[in-house]
């Protein structure tokens, strides 16, 4: 498994400090740069990369380092400098640790994981000339085939870092699958889980006792024709790994919101306000920070994220927002320019312990505000039994159960209000906003009865027939 080592320092690593860290392997190793200098590589004498170092990031969001690395990490503004060890040589992992250890020693910081820290010179003794040169220039990719880019990770929590985002973007552009291989103890952050949800991308769990299986579906996998694919019997059926079926009831839950908004594309448009409204209604505060990758490093600013989306248009913009440490809250947002204007697609997850009640009573007021002020198209709210910290383990988790569904007033008008207000199944929507053009808010249950999915499907089928 590839090891990632992170130096956390109170001061920004300057050029002399970075060079001192890169001399962890002695003067015989070389230095190379990629991505316009954003990635620096420590290379073997033949130019083969051994350690790749990403440009330092200033983390200004409270709780973000602890969320991704564990609660033993010191809080406060900190420079995050990540080094990724190649699988090309046994010394690469110790080289990454020595690089990070030297930065931490000079700048007064710490290293994660702590046991990786050293300041020793690590001589290269492996004959790397016998190892094929990687077929990829992306430091995050360990194996590249005609159909698949494989990333090997050995860390407790796999986040959607810039490394991983670049690997996914590159693989997608080349019509390749991205497959992440981890030990069974690894978990994924919500953005990473979302990124891997669609096939042929996969989370591949390497279990010493059970072989390979899909961390999201449990399907037993094997390496075939340059990719991980399900093992099928003679009838074409796939089996589920026993390790995936193991689950424990903790009482922890997640409140999930999936919403769409649409706005005219005018010069005064400010994006992110719908997401901020959701955070305020459900957590009592605006998001703590946002970014285009994890760790989330920028303080929350609707103006800055609007400027970014405008600069990227007409290309879509994808970003992440996090809440404050006292309430686990994590969102992804995709901004897309369409013929009708500008669309925001938002997924928000909030975590609750066994003795904490999700604020379901706040959803109706949120839906009303989203419709009145933020161009609501649809809002689906659901509950699921899952981890409070919002991470995803490689185990079976029950699907979310719908609680409410809301149509914004424009969408409700398009569907034909009289029929939309009198669906089958005895559902009576709450009318939100002006009586002449209301949004329609449908109650579906309390998040405990799986039958709510059938109710929701019948409702949407009925509404589609009226559209």
Q: Which residues pair with 151 in a beta bridge?
A: 180
Full pLDDT tens readout for the chain, 467 residues = 457 999 999 999 988 888 888 888 777 777 776 666 667 888 877 777 888 899 999 999 999 999 999 866 777 799 999 999 887 778 889 999 999 999 999 999 999 999 999 998 888 777 665 555 555 567 788 889 999 999 999 889 999 999 899 899 899 999 999 999 999 999 999 999 998 877 789 999 999 887 999 999 999 999 999 999 999 988 888 899 999 987 778 999 999 999 999 999 998 999 999 999 999 999 999 999 999 999 999 999 999 999 999 999 999 999 999 999 999 999 999 999 998 899 999 999 999 999 999 999 999 999 999 999 999 999 999 999 999 999 999 999 999 999 999 999 999 888 876 777 878 777 889 999 999 899 999 999 999 999 999 999 988 888 776 55
pLDDT at 464: 76
Tokens 């989330």 belong to which residue?
296
State the pLDDT at residue 415: 81
Phi, psi of 460 (to 5 degrees): -65, -35
For 453, counting Cβ atoms within 10 Å of its Cβ (0-12 exposed, 13-18 middle, 19+ buried), the class is middle
Q: Give one DSSP letter per residue of 199-243, joined into a string.
A: TT-EEEEEETTTEEEETTT-BEEEEETTEEEE-B-TTS-B-B-HH
Residue 266: other Cβ atoms inside 10 A? 8
Q: Please say whether the beta carbons of 191 and 199 come within 8 A.
A: no
Q: What share of the chain is helix, strand, coil (3-state, %, to 5)?
A: 25, 30, 40
- Predicted TM-score (pTM) of the model is 0.91
User: Which residues are CB-neighbours of 205 under 8 A, at least 6 positions away?
Assistant: 181, 182, 183, 184, 186, 212, 213, 214, 215, 241, 243, 244, 394
Q: CB-hemisphere CA count at 13 Å for 21? A: 31
| Sign of the dihedral through C-alpha 194, 195, 197, 203 | negative
pLDDT at 25 (0 to 100): 74
Q: What is the pLDDT of residue 86?
A: 83
Crossing angle for the helix pair 273-283 and 363-373, nearest 10 degrees?
A: 160
* pLDDT score, position 70: 85
Nearest to 416 by CA among 462, 455, 447: 462
What's the pLDDT at 35?
A: 63
């Amino acid at each position: 498994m590839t090891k990632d080592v992170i130096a956390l320092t109170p001061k920004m690593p300057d050029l002399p400090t970075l060079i001192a860290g890169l001399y962890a392997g002695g003067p015989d190793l070389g230095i190379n740069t990629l991505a316009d200098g954003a990635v620096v590589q420590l290379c073997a004498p033949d130019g083969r990369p051994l350690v790749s170092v990403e440009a330092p990031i200033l983390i200004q969001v409270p709780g973000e380092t602890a969320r991704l690395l564990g609660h033993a990490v010191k809080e406060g503004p900190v420079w995050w400098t990540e080094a990724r060890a190649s699988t090309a040589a046994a010394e690469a992992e110790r080289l990454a640790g020595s690089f990070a250890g030297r930065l931490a020693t000079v700048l007064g910081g710490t290293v994660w994981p702590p046991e990786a820290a050293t300041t020793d010179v690590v001589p290269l003794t492996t004959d790397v000339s016998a190892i094929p040169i990687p077929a990829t220039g992306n430091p995050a990719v360990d194996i590249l085939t005609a159909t698949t880019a494989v990333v090997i990770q050995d860390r407790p929590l796999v986040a959607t870092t810039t490394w991983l985002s670049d690997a996914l973007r590159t693989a997608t552009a080349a019509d390749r699958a991205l497959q992440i291989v981890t030990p069974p103890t690894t978990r994924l952050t919500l953005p990473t889980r979302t990124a891997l949800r669609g096939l042929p991308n996969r989370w591949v769990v390497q279990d010493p006792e059970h072989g390979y299986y899909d961390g999201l579906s449990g399907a037993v996998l094997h390496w075939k024709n340059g990719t991980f694919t399900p093992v099928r019997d003679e009838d074409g059926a796939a089996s589920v790994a026993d390790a995936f079926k193991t689950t424990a009831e903790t009482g922890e839950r997640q409140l999930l919101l999936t919403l769409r908004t649409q706005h005219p594309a005018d010069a005064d448009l400010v994006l992110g306000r719908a997401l901020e409204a959701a955070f305020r209604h459900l957590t009592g505060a605006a998001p703590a920070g946002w970014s285009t990758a994890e760790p989330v490093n920028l303080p929350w600013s609707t103006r800055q994220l609007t400027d970014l989306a405008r600069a990227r248009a007409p290309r879509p913009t994808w970003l992440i927002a996090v809440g404050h440490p006292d309430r686990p809250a994590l969102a992804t947002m995709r901004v897309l320019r369409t013929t009708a204007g500008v669309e925001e697609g938002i997924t928000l997850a909030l975590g609750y312990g066994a003795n904490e009640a999700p604020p379901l009573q706040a959803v109706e007021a949120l839906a009303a505000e989203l419709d009145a002020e933020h161009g609501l198209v649809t809002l689906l709210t659901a509950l699921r039994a899952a981890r409070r910290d919002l991470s995803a383990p490689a185990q079976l988790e029950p699907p979310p159960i719908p609680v409410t569904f809301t149509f914004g007033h424009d969408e409700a008008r398009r569907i034909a209000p009289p029929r939309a207000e009198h669906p089958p199944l005895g559902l009576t929507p709450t009318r939100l906003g002006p009586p002449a053009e209301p949004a329609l808010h449908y109650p579906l249950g309390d998040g405990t009865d799986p039958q709510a999915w059938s109710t929701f499907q019948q409702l949407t089928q009925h509404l589609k027939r009226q559209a």
